[in-house]
Amino acid sequence: MRLLPLLAASVVFASTLPAQEKPAPPIDLGDAQMLRRIYDAALVDSPAFEQLRELTEKFPGRLSGSAAYEGSTKWAEAQLRALGCDRTELQPVMVPHWERGAPERVEFLTAGTRTPLAALALGGSVPTDPAGLTAPVIELPSVEALKNADVKGKIVFFNGAMNPRYVIPGQAYGEAGAQRNRGPAEAAKRGAVGVLVRSLTHALDDLPHTGNTTYLPDAPRIPAAALSTLAANQLSAALRADAELTVTMQINSRWLPDAPSANVIGEIRGSEFPEKVILVGGHLDSWDVSPGAHDDGAGCIQSIEVLRLLKAIGYQPKHTIRCVLFANEENGLRGALEYARIAGDKKENHVLALETDGGGYSARGFNIGNAAGDAHLKAARFKPLFEPYGVFIFQAGRGGADVGPLMAKGNTVAGLIPEAQRYFDIHHTRADTIDKVNKRELELGAAAMAALVYLVDRHGL
Amino acid sequence: MRLLPLLAASVVFASTLPAQEKPAPPIDLGDAQMLRRIYDAALVDSPAFEQLRELTEKFPGRLSGSAAYEGSTKWAEAQLRALGCDRTELQPVMVPHWERGAPERVEFLTAGTRTPLAALALGGSVPTDPAGLTAPVIELPSVEALKNADVKGKIVFFNGAMNPRYVIPGQAYGEAGAQRNRGPAEAAKRGAVGVLVRSLTHALDDLPHTGNTTYLPDAPRIPAAALSTLAANQLSAALRADAELTVTMQINSRWLPDAPSANVIGEIRGSEFPEKVILVGGHLDSWDVSPGAHDDGAGCIQSIEVLRLLKAIGYQPKHTIRCVLFANEENGLRGALEYARIAGDKKENHVLALETDGGGYSARGFNIGNAAGDAHLKAARFKPLFEPYGVFIFQAGRGGADVGPLMAKGNTVAGLIPEAQRYFDIHHTRADTIDKVNKRELELGAAAMAALVYLVDRHGL
């Protein structure tokens, strides 16, 4: 690209605003100016990227129950205190405590040769016998394919790839993800002794992706691991050549008693309706192998940044603006459940609970949900204010995992939609590192969130 | 992010289509199905990413006049022939031929200590004396600041940073870029002996960014180099401590006679209006130090991919669909000028000339321009068809540098707008490599282009 300002026709500032129907006060030019101030504060001099660097470098592998997680809660509370919150809190919650132990080992044996495969035990997997589990393998494309397969005494190898046709990778993840989440339990019901799962990513490389698996009370708990996509292809090719090959899996994990932990909370007290809350949040835990830069360090830092931005522009909110960094999203959701339980006990009214857990990429919009199913239509009246910033999507949705329990109690929720093509390349891996995050993309996400919070605070939803 | 399909409310397929006013045939469900087929062909089984890998690995540093550029033209023509073009051509054009020579050296001397600075000569810079040029330095924030400065006998150090407030980095680039493009000539007019320019990027690192500078006939041609942003900060701090420090620049470049070169052309002949052309293109040349993956290898591969996609879905276009890979965009625009001259001589009618030169990132929309200034409004009737694919922007614009000469002759032009926050991190540097390109983002850009080409072919503009 040359020096010609190719894209110069884009607008930095919305100079005209459409007429709006209802709420008092009306959306006006002041709102456009406030959004511009929010974006300026985010883009010009934000500490967010360096905060995320510090979080990921000081507290990688923040899995529930770990020392890294506990350290990150104190660090995050200090950040919230430093920006001038009226109140901060470490809200206690008991969390599951699973540990990977010594690195897992997966290899296949064919024609007298052992070949190691890049693998990671799934989160929550039971260990194998210390000597390992050796069994023949059956490859299946999905959980549904178990119906017509004889898996007794075998290791089931779920090798369904994420469907590339979905434009939004999260849809392909949701679909293929059944193999990881339900696959081991369903295979165990039918007599399988272990499970291998193709990593949930469009990328073809040697990076295994972990993630949670859910056992069922009425089925045996069998060991389960994810293979990198290249390892999955390699095993599949080997099976075509030798259907009788065996795989040896060795997993050294253990389950410990539930551990005391905490959600991290910081808030700016509302000037008119302090009892009404607009929540912004993400989850502070990450997988044990991952620094959790995009998942969901970025979301936590953006949520902290929303509060900083409102203060930086000198805005005094009418409602209480609360940042919640949830514990235990990855393997239990206990933080979100406990937060919603306490909020219910206190009869707190959440005007909006906005979650960000899709990666710290450029913001493209919001999914918004309420019981009546019309919240996204109401929010769409803000759309012209967002378009100069490249934020176009206001669609119905369920916000995200951590605001799910609040939605179940009748609150309105939302989720930031980032430009997410790169997210599953590094999701739940050791490669989810700070160098994958672009400073301005992180800032643009935080600014979009702060803008929505400001507009809902002023105009309601 | 957990297994919940957080973003699942997005649509993969547009099920309802708005009523349209005019053209025959009307936009109909068949169009939505055709777009789905285009996107499927792009996302499921595309060679584009591997083609881009091959281009950047075989022909890095494809500057005009280089052997790498000439090699890339033959390679690209072979790609176009292999996909089944009805006609391919290497369209001759004479191009400027500048060479960097041995690596440049920039250092400053203060308190008896020499400190080297990460630097790259600007494209087109004259050499220094072989022993180097040593002079005192004056730091200025912009070309405009020359008015009130005494620069005689000095090296002017333009240290204006790109403005972070612009949401679209291309706007900040256009603004700050005057320092690089016009700065050396303007400084020379006022008696400066050399120029250093802060690299045009938001990133703070030690990677210098080159790019073209334009001398004027009525001013001396003085040597000019870009400093990395960290080096620029370092020099600025050193100047604050010691205003009398000197800088030594050594540049070993040379200008050679104009060289024979070529635009690469491939086309699918139109079934109804073969004499009317819909053009897709990018520029095949890159800076000498750069593999040119995003700038503009991506655009070339996407333009080739547009033709492949139309063939892959079995679509027979009514108009001639022509892929043009332009020579010499970076330092002369001779390819674009020659293409437009010949098209004019042949009285070829270009229905649309669509350029892509903003990086191979996810597509966000198009800028579209014609003499009447209404082409983007006409194109906006296609918008509902694009929204399921995250393509929302249809705005007035000038397409890009290479379609500029066609627009000047009255043709309608367009430019793909990608999600561009990361582009200037690596633009015009050795770091513009294939690992910065995401396969699906590249494919989504090509699909958006093919979709627009299909719609204009069927419905006009």
The residue in chain A having the minimum alpha-carbon distance to the alpha carbon of residue B389 is A167
pLDDT tens sequence across B356-375: 999 999 999 999 999 999 99
> Measured between alpha carbons, how far is A62 from B6 in angstroms, rounded to an integer?
22
Q: Are residues B41 and B122 in the same domain?
A: no
In a domain, A13, yes or no: no
pLDDT band at B21 (very low <50, low <70, confident <90, very high): very low
Of B219, B209, B225, B192, give the one whose Cα is nearest residue B125: B225
- B399 in contact with A at a CB cutoff of 8 Å? yes
- B25 preceded by cis ω (within 30°)? yes
Cβ separation A421–B444 shorter than 8 A: yes
Residue at a domain's end among B252, B278, B297? B252
DSSP state of A429: S
* DSSP state letter for B295: I
What is the end-to-end Cα distance of chain B in Å, rounded?
Answer: 42
Please compute the mean of the pLDDT values over residues B294-310 and round it to a whole number: 98
In the prediction, which pLDDT does A134 show? 98
Spatial contact of B453 and B321, defined as CB atoms under 8 Å apart? yes
**Is the CB of A4 less than 8 angstroms away from the CB of B174?**
yes
**Domain assignment of residue B6, yes or no:** no
A8, A202, A395 ranked by CB distance to B10: nearest: A395
CATH of the domain at A188: 3.50.30.30
Chain segment B324-358, per-residue pLDDT in tens: 999 999 999 999 999 999 999 999 999 999 999 99
Alpha-carbon distance of B162 to B235, in angstroms, equals 17
Q: Are residues A114 and A179 in the same domain?
A: yes
pLDDT of the residue at B16: 39
* Domain identity same for B281 and B352: yes
* Mean pLDDT confidence for B195-204: 98
Residues 405-434 of B with CB under 8 A from A: 415, 417, 419-423, 425, 427
* Residue of chain A minimizing CA distance to B169: A7
Report if residue A6 sits inside a domain: no
Put simply, the answer to whether B5 touches A438 (Cβ < 8 Å) is no
CB contact under 8 A, A367 and B6: yes
Q: Looking at the structure, do residues B332 and B452 belong to the same domain, yes or no?
A: yes
Q: Is B357 on the interface with A (CB under 8 A)?
A: yes
Separation of alpha carbons B450 and B43, rounded Å: 13
Choosing from B209, B233, B252, the residue where a domain stops is: B252
Q: Do A4 and B400 touch (CB under 8 A)?
A: yes
Q: Profile chain A (461 residues) by mean pLDDT over runs of 10 residues.
A: 36 38 69 98 97 98 98 98 98 98 98 97 98 98 98 98 97 98 98 98 98 96 98 98 98 98 98 97 98 98 98 98 98 98 96 98 98 96 97 96 97 97 98 98 98 97 91
Dihedrals phi, psi of B248, to nearest 5 degrees: -110, 125
Q: Contact A444/B167 with Cβ under 8 angstroms?
A: yes
Domain for residue B345, yes or no?
yes
Res. B22 pLDDT band, cuts 50 70 90: very low
> Structural domain tally of chain A?
2
- One domain, residues A451 and A416: yes
Please name the member of A2, A390, A444 whose beta carbon is closest to the beta carbon of B330. Answer: A2
Kindly state whether B398 is in contact with chain A, defined as any CB-CB distance less than 8 angstroms.
yes
For residues B281-296, average pLDDT: 98
pLDDT at residue number A27: 86
DSSP string, A250-310: E---EEEEEEEEEEEEEEEPPSSEEEEEEEEEEE----TT---IIIIIHHHHHHHHHHHHH
List strand residue ranges (DSSP E) for B45-151, in order: 87-99, 105-110, 113-117, 119-121, 133-140
Give A-chain residues touching B359 at CB under 8 angstroms: 1
Amino acid letter, residue A34:
M
Residue B1 lies in a domain: no
Nearest by CB to B440, which of A12, A421, A438? A421
As a whole number of angstroms, the distance between CA B364 and CA B38 comes to 17
Q: Which of chain A's residues have a Cβ under 8 Å away from the Cβ of B390?
A: 167, 364, 393, 419
* Nearest chain B residue (CA) to A361: B421
Cβ <8 Å between A177 and B358: no
Average of per-residue pLDDT across B129-137:
97
At B29 the pLDDT is 83
CA distance B422 to A209: 25
Q: Do A400 and B1 touch (CB under 8 A)?
A: yes
Q: Are residues B151 and B288 in the same domain?
A: no
In a domain, A53, yes or no: yes
Q: Which residues of A321-344 are buried (b: 16+ CB within 10 A; e: fewer)?
A: bbbbbbbbbbbbbbbbbbbbeebe
Residues B35 and B412: beta-carbon distance below 8 Å: no
Q: Are B271 and B420 members of one domain?
A: yes
Beta strand spans in B77-223 (E): 87-99, 105-110, 113-117, 119-121, 133-140, 155-158, 194-198
**Chain A residue with Cα closest to B363:** A419
Determine the distance in angstroms separating the CA of B62 from the nearest CA of chain A, rounded to an integer.
14
Query: What's the CA gap between A71 and A168, in Å, rounded?
Result: 34
> Do residue B184 and residue B202 come from a single domain?
yes
Output Rg (C-alpha) for chain A, integer angstroms.
23
Residue B404 contacts A, CB cutoff 8 Å: yes
Extract the tokens encoding A260. Answer: 């005391």
Is the alpha carbon torsion for B266, B272, B276, B281 positive or negative?
A: negative
Is residue B299 very low, low, confident or very high in pLDDT (cuts 50, 70, 90)?
very high
Dist. CA B208–CA B230, nearest whole Å: 9
In chain B, what residues touch A6 (CB-CB under 8 Å)?
Answer: 170, 174, 357-358, 367, 397-401, 415
Which of A165, A169, A438 lies closest to B422 in CB terms?
A438
Residues of chain A with C-beta less than 8 angstroms from the C-beta of B404: 4
Q: For B205-329, where are the E strands, in sequence order? A: 224-227, 246-250, 254-268, 273-283, 319-326
pLDDT > 90? residue B4: no
Distance (Å) from the C-alpha of residue A330 to the closest C-alpha of chain B? 6
> Do A120 and A210 fall into the same domain?
yes
Specify whether A234 is located in the same domain as A300: no
CB atoms within 10 A of CB A15: 9
Residues 6+ apart with CB under 8 A from B124: B96, B98, B212, B213, B214, B215, B255, B331
Residues 431-450 of A with CB under 8 A from B: 438-441, 444
* Residues within 8 A of A (CB atoms), B 124-183 only: 164-171, 173-175, 177-178, 180-181
**Residue B460 confidence (pLDDT) above 60:** yes
What pLDDT score was predicted for residue A1?
40
Assigned token pair, B86: 């009805």
Q: How much of chain B, in percent, has pLDDT values that exceed 90?
A: 93
Q: Could you tell me if residue B22 is inside a domain?
A: no
Residue B244 contacts residue B136 (beta carbons within 8 Å): yes
Q: What is the DSSP letter of A152?
A: T
Residue B130 CB neighbours (<10 A)? 9
pLDDT tens track for B59-80: 999 999 999 999 999 999 999 9
When pLDDT is averaged across residues B147-174 and rounded to a whole number, the result is: 97
The reply to whether B459 touches chain A by the CB within 8 Å rule is no
pLDDT value at residue B28:
87
Chain A interface includes B401 (CB < 8 A): yes
Q: Which residues of A touch B367 (CB under 8 A)?
A: 6-7, 9
Question: Is some CB atom of chain A closer than 8 A to the CB atom of B50?
Answer: no
Q: Does B358 touch chain A (CB under 8 A)?
A: yes
Q: Which domain holds residue B34?
A: 29-98+257-459
Q: Is B1 close to A421, i.e. CB distance below 8 A?
A: no
Residue A388 belongs to some domain of the structure: yes
What pLDDT is attached to residue B335? 98
Interface of A with B in 239-298 (CB under 8 A): 295-296
As beta bridge partners, residue B279 has: B322, B353
Residue B35: Cβ within 10 Å count: 26
pLDDT tens-digit readout, B401-427:
999 999 999 999 999 999 999 999 999
> Which domain CATH number covers A375?
3.40.630.10
What is the pTM (predicted TM-score) of this model?
Answer: 0.94
A273 and A246, same structural domain? no
Those residues with Cβ within 8 angstroms of residue B395's Cβ, 6 or more apart along the chain or in another chain: A9, A10, B365, B366, B367, B368, B376, B417
Task: Give the gap in angstroms from C-alpha B43 to the nearest C-alpha of chain A.
Answer: 6
pLDDT-derived band at B27 (thresholds 50, 70, 90) equals confident
**Which of A252, A279, A303 delimits the end of a domain?**
A252
Same domain, A427 and A292: yes
**Model ipTM?**
0.93
Share of chain B above pLDDT 70, in %: 95
A247-279 burial, b if ≥16 CB within 10 A, otherwise e? bbbbbbbeeeeebebbbbbbbbebeeeeebbbb
For the stretch B337-349, what's the b/e string if a residue is b when 16 or more beta carbons lie within 10 angstroms of its beta carbon?
A: bbbbeebeeeebe
Query: Amino acid identity of A100?
Result: R
